Homo-oligomer: A and B are copies of this chain.
Amino acid sequence: MSSGNETVGAQGYVPLPSRRMLPFKFTEEGLTTVKGIKVTSRHAGLKTQGRDLAVIYSESPASAAAVWTTNQVKAASLLVSIKHLERGKVQALVVNSGIANTCTGERGLKDAEEITRIAAEELGIPPESVLIFSTGYVGKYLPLEKIRGALKDIKYDLTASPAAGLEAAKAIMTTDTRPKMLSVKVPLKNGKEITLGAMAKGAGMICPNMATMLCFLATDLSIPNELLKRTLQRSVDKSFNMINVDGDMGASDAVVLLANGTEPLAESDLGLFQEALDTVCVSLAKMIVRDGEGASKLMEVKVQGAKTFQDAKMAALSVVKSNLVKCAIYGDDPNIGRIVLVLGASGINLEEKKLDVYLENIKMVENGVFVEFDRYQATQVMSRPEVRFVIDLNVGHEEATAWGCDLTPEYIRINSEYPT
């Protein structure tokens, strides 16, 4: 796994996935680097301590695109945001942690609507331009009066200071152990420079109870809605849709991208912008997996030589989802048999006699048969904080990469000891 591009900072590893030089400048600051974006956060009392309510505000109404959870059970807050986004521009995001506002029926919907109304009034903007996101316990109602109190005079706190950005990123955390932020500066062909900033949370791909995955991105470009939607979906498919912590899926999962600038995205800069967005999304996705509940190690699985892209994706995801593979990662055990059997069970086009599997650069399986390898070296490689497998199906030319983490006793402790 390439790590030459990694920097270790306040939030731990910030993995930058590039293997070639990208013309971007990265910072560990997040949304606050984007012109016209301000944030703040407060303690509303949904969590026993610490900030649990964040507001992200755009000085001008922004074009917005979003990707929502595909779970049929959706948080009431999410349903309200979906409705508001359809109406047009977005100017504020209200995010609470502690309570997911899920399985709360009509009352949950009313609560979410009311909170967007309160926030809109405080900020002096239309209620439909406010989106709301709730993450935390399922089956509990939001404490409306506490949130009303916390939103009081919120506009006076809004700031673009890096410290406020960090506090906001912390306020949306649930079982996360560290905040997740990133921004890049992208040089346009006309000599100008734009910014793409983001903050995210997630410590399970999901988690019905305690966690879920949220990512808020903003850029100071001007991008038409349709194009914004398409570029975001592409990046999400390569990043947040390719990670797994425990195979479960949340009811509040959302990725939102705001574009609030005046500089239009030129046709000739589209590829570069997509690449910047991919890079930010993949980096944040890897931060989420690395901070997966109980995780001690990151696993990267690249499948190549697949007949179809769907096969490559399904194969890679099947491997990172397997409990047995995850246990082997935890145990530094170069147990390639488990990977081969997961591939066999994954339903893809597979010719066992053509299958090659590598652990980093060590060939472990050739033409479907195990090869002799240096066990000491393989165990050493397995014991690194990042473990990378390359699987060559040798039946086509498609490829995909997925990321996951190990399964540890700490994961079980977090998810069995926490009282609902």
Contact = CB atoms under 8 A, between A and B. Distances in A.
Interface in A40-96: 70-74
A208 B319 CA distance: 12
Contacts of A103: 337, 340, 352, 365, 368-370
Contacts of A138: 337-338, 340-341, 370
B70 A345 contact: yes
Given A72-B345, A102-B337, A246 B207 contact: no
Nearest to A349: B72
B350 A72 contact: yes
Contacts of A251: 341, 344
A84 B370 CA distance: 26
Interface string A322-341: 11100110110111111111
Contacts of A208: 324, 335, 337-342
Contact of A416 (B137, B330, B420): B330
A222 interface: no
Interface in A230-267: 246-251
Nearest to A378: B420
Consensus secondary structure, chain A interface: loop
Interface residues of A, number: 66
A139 to B, nearest CB: 4
Nearest to A71: B344
B137 A337 contact: yes
Interface stretch (A113-121, A195-203, A282-290, A405-413): A405-413
Contacts of A322: 247-248
A250 to B, nearest CB: 7
A129 interface: no
Contacts of A104: 369-370
Contact of A412 (B342, B343, B408): B408
A48 to B, nearest CB: 19
A420 B345 contact: no
A352 B344 CA distance: 35
Contacts of A368: 103, 105
A323 B246 CA distance: 6
Contact of A340 (B73, B341, B411, B412): B73
A354 to B, nearest CB: 12
Given A73-B352, A100-B337, 20 more contacts: A103-B337, A103-B352, A104-B369, A104-B370, A105-B367, A138-B337, A138-B340, A208-B324, A208-B335, A209-B335, A209-B337, A248-B338, A323-B411, A323-B415, A328-B420, A330-B416, A331-B418, A333-B416, A337-B420, A408-B412
12 contacts: A72-B350, A73-B343, A74-B344, A102-B337, A104-B370, A246-B324, A247-B321, A327-B412, A331-B418, A333-B418, A333-B419, A335-B420
Interface string A106-148: 0000000000000000000000000000000111100000000
